[in-house]
Amino acid sequence: MDAGSGWETLSASLPQIDFLFPSMEDAQALLGLSDPDAICDEFLRHGVKTVLLTLGEEGAIVAGGDMRIRIPAYSAQLVDATAAGDTFDGAFLAEFLRCGDPEAATRFACAAASLAVEKTGAVDSIPYLREIRTRMAA
């Protein structure tokens, strides 16, 4: 890893992080790794408790402790990816606080992000709960 990449600064704070939400692209740039499992392993090795690696149209990986689950993406018609990451992160946290299950919260977040990319803008594209539940039931 490139010491000038910001990794040294970031790695000092990783043991304090309960949930880390890197995108595949950001993690590749930061770590210089291209394998999703290796990326998760690197963050976990540095003390992150749970990694939620978003893989775009391939879904996401939730990893932590002895858990590593790849959640497939929901089918979506891409219009604008502007709010996909923020929608994923917020949806995960909201659902995790509701249910306490990281796998279920990741599925919920993938459904929410799939809806967000079907609309334009950063705010108007954030889906309502009923839309997320409908997408998950389909």
| Residues designated catalytic | 86
Q: Are 17 and 47 in contact (CB under 8 A)?
A: yes
Q: In degrees to the nearest 10, what's the CA dihedral of 57, 19, 107, 42?
A: 50
